[in-house]
Amino acid sequence: MLGYNVEAAHKYVDSFFAATGSTVVCRHAYLDENGNYSNFTVSVRKDALNEKLRKEAQENAEERIEKSREKARENAEQLAEKLEEKAEESEKSEEKKVVKEDGTTTPNKAEQLLEEKMTASKDGTIYLNDTDMKTIIEAAQEEDAGKTTVKEQAQVGANLDLKI
């Protein structure tokens, strides 16, 4: 009967370690002087489930990294396109010149006036009289005529000075 109890105890310990996912490396079992079963084991836990989860997590991380790289490439391409468009717009706005019938180009009135004054000046200092200023202002207004301006509205009660 005593041998049966030892076998049952061994099976119980084996099933316990199998249920926890551990592998027994070394075991020492004995009965003490009172007839109590004692067991000493060294076991290694094999995390098969954790390995699977780690692999899935790593694959998901790699997919996310690839997606973020693709988004970064797309954003860089969009930014490059926007910069090219802005550069083209700035070139067009800088090169707004009136084309004459003979094919030569002339800058707008304000630029033309300022260039004439700069070429006429000796030290790079130019002096503008009232008619010159009016010409420049009119040219600027003509350029801005096609643009819509949005006037900022003051907040309600911004000009009230209340004292209590």
Q: What pLDDT, on the 0 to 100 scale, is given for residue 106? A: 47
**Please, are residues 108 and 97 in contact by the beta-carbon 8 Å criterion?**
yes
Q: What is the mean pLDDT of each run of 10 residues along the chain (164 residues)?
A: 67 84 81 81 75 88 94 93 88 62 56 84 81 84 68 61 57
Q: How many residues does the chain have?
A: 164
Domain spans of the chain? Answer: 2-46, 48-93, 109-143
Q: Any idea what DSSP says for residue 31?
A: E
In tens, the pLDDT along 9-50 reads 788 888 888 888 787 788 888 888 887 878 788 888 776 667
**Please, are residues 105 and 99 in contact by the beta-carbon 8 Å criterion?**
yes
Q: What pLDDT, on the 0 to 100 scale, is given for residue 159? A: 61
